Amino acid sequence: MLCWLLLALPAAARKPPVPLARTDTPAPSQPQEAPEDRLARARQSFLNNDFPATVQTLRGLVYPEVLLHSEEDVRAVHRMLALSYYLSRNEDAAEREFTILLALRPDFALDPVLDPPQAIAFLERLRARQRQRLDEIERRRREEAAAAAREESGGRARPRTGGCARPRTGCGSR
């Protein structure tokens, strides 16, 4: 499901944003940190307003490939990246991350209790600019859900023949 959503994004949104800080890969002698542990560490950096460390920790979880197992975690990563970029005044990168979030979940909204009003306004301006594309994503999502429901109920319904096995000749015609 995530594949077609990412393909629906404009090409600029699929490119990973430029990092705020240098991203070094761990030395080969160090054990690789589990994605869930990296996410927890990034959450702590985010809560401490250490946005360069947040970006550095999170980027590797979704670029070049997604290392997380739940869609909820993927959305959380893109949300923290978007806010980290926005709060670091990197609006181009913030826009790319918010665009990905809106593609994953067109009804995505920031929390007015937790998130800065300026970031909420930024997201709403972006949503208004992308309304047509978001409507198309939502239409496709509904079509897929309807097709899945039909599949579960035994496939397509057969055309009605008025109870007759031979619709063109009618019942009783030989």
pLDDT digits (tens, 9 = 90+) for 90-118: 999 999 999 999 989 988 999 999 999 99
Is 76 a member of any domain? Answer: yes
Mean pLDDT, residues 80-93 taken together: 97
For residue 57, give the nearest of 70, 43, 71 by alpha carbon: 43
Is 166 a member of any domain? Answer: no
How far apart CA 88 and CA 75 sit, in angstroms, is 20
Does the pLDDT at position 160 exceed 70? no
In the predicted model, what is the mean pLDDT of the chain? 80
Name the residue range of residue 142's domain. 35-151
Is 135 a member of any domain? Answer: yes
Residue 142 dihedral angles phi and psi, to the nearest 5°: -65, -40
Question: How many distinct structural domains can be found in the chain?
Answer: 1
* Buried-state track 3-42, b at ≥16 Cβ within 10 A, e below 16: eebeeebeeebeeebebbeeeeeeeeeeeeeebeebbeeb
